[in-house]
Amino acid sequence: MDQNPLIQIKNISKQYKGATFLSLDNVNLEIKSGEVYGLLGPNGAGKTTLISILCGLIKPSSGDVSIFGKDLKQETKEIQKEIGVVPQEYALYPKLTARENLFYFGSMFGMTKAQLKPIISSHLEALGLLPFADKKIKTFSGGMKRRVNLIAGILHDPKLLFLDEPTVGVDVQSKQAITTKLKELNDVGTTIIYTSHHLREAQDLCSLVGIIDSGKIIAENTPAKLISETKDARNLEDVFIELTGRELRDYA
């Protein structure tokens, strides 16, 4: 594993326009190449905000981010060419087929139809979607859409992949297909940063976990160390409850 941080986050804060509080409050993180980094936290903790900043989708109010040794503010476009993003909301066109959607997303990365054809078929097959390749997305289940959404983010073989709750609202089979794919991508060198509320899944998948609450990183370690260092914790869920409390986090 390359020991230089792939992502360096220095003193990032974010206050949305009109908001009276910080959604991110002086976050500092270093993420090395080859990690599967799980960003975990209750609703409203700041996970999507942080991922959106790292992908260059929104700007922080203060602080600096460097990715691949490049300054995110100065070299947003260069960085974006080498990252993959799988957003929480489906980015898919319901009236197009799975294959048509994927050709469209691949073309955004300057890939030709000839380049994309075998890549799309191979990912569709790996995720159990080849028989449905030419069916319209509007006929797909949530789990199928999540799998197509994942493929859309990896067609250009990014070095670094961001995923915002990639397994939310899917059945166990889809969840397994997605996590297996993520493990395979990581095995061939893709660094993965992802958010999830599935703590069991994060415990299995992540090499490193950061727990975020009220915009602050409150703990960071391997799942095994977080569990062994928390009194009476048997799993990551126990650690999570110990650190973030039992209070409900509803907001509107």
Q: Which stretches of the chain bind ligand ATP, using CB under 6 A?
A: 16, 19, 23, 41, 43-49, 251
| Count of beta carbons in the 10 Å neighbourhood of residue 129 | 22
Beta bridge partners of 168: none
Minimum Å gap between C-beta 18 and ligand ATP is: 7
Of 19 and 108, CB closest to ligand ATP:
19
Of 49 and 174, CB closest to ligand ATP:
49
Of 49 and 149, CB closest to ligand ATP:
49
Contacting residues for 160 by C-beta, under 8 A, at least 6 apart: 6, 7, 67, 68, 82, 83, 84, 190, 191, 192, 193
Work out whether strand 70-71 and strand 24-32 pair parallel, antiparallel, or are unpaired: unpaired
Of 172 and 252, CB closest to ligand ATP:
252
Of 72 and 129, CB closest to ligand ATP:
72
Minimum Å gap between C-beta 19 and ligand ATP is: 5
Minimum Å gap between C-beta 15 and ligand ATP is: 9
Minimum Å gap between C-beta 78 and ligand ATP is: 25
Q: What CA–CA distances, in Å, run from 214 to 11, 65, 124?
A: 15, 20, 38
Work out whether strand 62-67 and strand 191-196 pair parallel, antiparallel, or are unpaired: unpaired
Supply 135's token pair.
């069916």
Minimum Å gap between C-beta 45 and ligand ATP is: 4
